[in-house]
Amino acid sequence: MTRTWLGGAANEPDHPFGVSTLPYGVVVTGGQPQPAVRIGDSALLLRPATEALLPEHAGLFAGGNLDAFLAAGHDSWVDVRTAVTGWLTDDAHRELLEPLLIPLAGLPAVLPFSVADYVDFYASEHHARNVGQIFRPDSDSLLPNWKHLPVGYHGRAGTVVVSGADVRRPRGQRKGAEGVEFGPSKSLDIEAEVGFVVGVGSSQGRPAPITDFTRHVFGVVLLNDWSARDIQAWEYVPLGPFLGKSFATSISAWITPLAALETARAPAVPREPAPLPYLDDTGDSWNLDLSIEVRLNGELISRPPFAAMYWTGAQMMAHMTVNGASLRTGDLFGSGTVSGPERDQRGSLLELSWGGSQPFTLSDGFARSYLADGDEVVMTATAPGPEGARIGIAEVRGRITSALDGTG
């Protein structure tokens, strides 16, 4: 395994942020947000590092976020990753770089890029079938379009928040036994998802094909698509999710680049019927073998397997541009809830409690179907890396605070 001169955990083979991962984020030092790359439990400041060692790319890190780097494109992404890997593994750079390393413990997290458009898909067959059985027990669990296209909707980019931000319980309308009610959501849920971050945009009118996935998409984050099931159930027909989803979406503070996930690529799941040509990924699947873990108040409640997804991120990108819609730097698209075939692989409380009919009990003895005020949810993920290493996708963490008072 490739080793870094950093001491500590970064060289342990099962550390998810060893020298094979190197995700990008933003840290605040001296009151200033600065682009950084994560190694172990430290952040390397990229502006001073590139000014000293890679001056032709220093301009990409002069701002307070990763936007310029994302927009710079694939060749620049390769140049920087290659350079950073060399710096961290060659002892010759130690003296220069050590002062630019900052311990992550206690540092506030910052949203690493400006979120442009946010799209959310529904690409897990296990999740879609579970939800179909819970909400429509008397009809076919999959709707007729589901195996022909990655179903999705446009969400609210302005309420994407970084890991660690509290999430206030939303209020809204729901259908009660006596009629329409208004108040704090009584069925606040999580959705364990993988988010894809677009670096290079595309031109309006020109679809972005599957084969251009790595030209447009920079990397992945974990995404918790908080969902108020009672608000959602009342509002969603006929136009889909709206206020039940738009109050907050949490993402990791660090973006793991696709370049770190080559060893995590997995064969596509069998698909029947065969997808249309623009969705055909035969021989070039971007299915990813990510093992996700979901913890509620510290207890492991689910281990959703991303490799069980029906549609891949590359197919989602191809589908959302096939009509001529363009991509922009900073676009974020979520996979939809990741659920596997087993009970303990379900990525939402809706599924884990089977629509509230099977509450589960944590070690605090408190039975619940959905989130209580004060609950904290943490999602993490790892993937197989080179030479036995593990690749990490940074955690996404969020805690529920109580709803605003009042009814108006």
Residues with a known catalytic role: 127
Which of 67, 120 has the CB closer to Ca ion?
Answer: 120
Token reading at 345: 């692989």
Q: Taking the complex as a whole, how short is the minimal distance between the CB of residue 14 and Ca ion, in angstroms?
A: 30
Q: Does 225 bind Ca ion (CB under 5 A)?
A: yes
Rounded distance between C-alpha atoms, residue 272 and residue 148, angstroms: 9
Residue of the chain from 19, 38, 60, 120 that contacts Ca ion (CB under 5 A) = 120
Shortest Å, Cβ 339 to Ca ion: 11
Q: Tokens for 141, please give them.
A: 């669990």
* 10 φ/ψ angles, rounded to the nearest 5 degrees: -60, -25
DSSP string, 10-66: GGSTT-TBSTTT--EEEEEETTEEEEEEEETTEEEEHHHHHHHH-GGGGGGGSSSSS
Closest contact distance (angstroms) between CB of 193 and Ca ion is: 6
Decide whether 16 or 336 has the Cβ nearer to Ca ion. 336
| Minimum distance from residue 127 beta carbon to Ca ion (Å) | 9
Count the residues of the shown chain that bind Ca ion, applying the rule CB under 5 A: 3
Q: What is the 3-state secondary structure (H, E, C) of 238-273?
A: CCCCCCCCCCCEEECCEEEEHHHHHHHEECCCCCCC
Question: Should residue 125 be labelled a site residue for Ca ion when binding is judged by CB under 5 A?
Answer: no
User: Is 347:192 a contact under the CB 8 Å cutoff?
Assistant: yes
Q: How far is the CB of 301 from Ca ion (least distance, A)?
A: 18
Indicate the SS3 state at residue 187.
coil
Q: Is 230 in the site for Ca ion (CB under 5 A)?
A: no
Nearer to Ca ion, 242 or 278 (CB): 242
Shorter beta-carbon distance to Ca ion: residue 42 or 249: 249
Q: List all residues 6 or more positions away from 320 whose beta carbon is below 8 Å from its beta carbon.
A: 119, 152, 333
Q: Which residue is nearest to Ca ion (CB)?
A: 225
Answer for the pair 110, 25: CB distance below 8 angstroms, yes or no: yes
331 binds Ca ion (CB under 5 A): no
Q: Which is nearer to Ca ion, 76 or 224 (CB)?
A: 224
**Which x/- pattern over 252-271 shows residues binding Ca ion (rule: CB under 5 A)?**
--------------------
Residue 26 vs 151, nearer CB to Ca ion: 151
The answer to whether the beta carbons of residues 306 and 292 sit under 8 Å apart is yes
Closest separation in Å from C-beta 245 to Ca ion: 7
Shortest CA distance to 319 belongs to which of 161, 170, 173, 152?
152
Among 67, 117, 189, 191, binds Ca ion (CB under 5 A): 191
- Our finding on whether 212 is near Ca ion (CB under 5 A) is no
| Footprint on this chain of Ca ion (rule: CB under 5 A) | 120, 191, 225
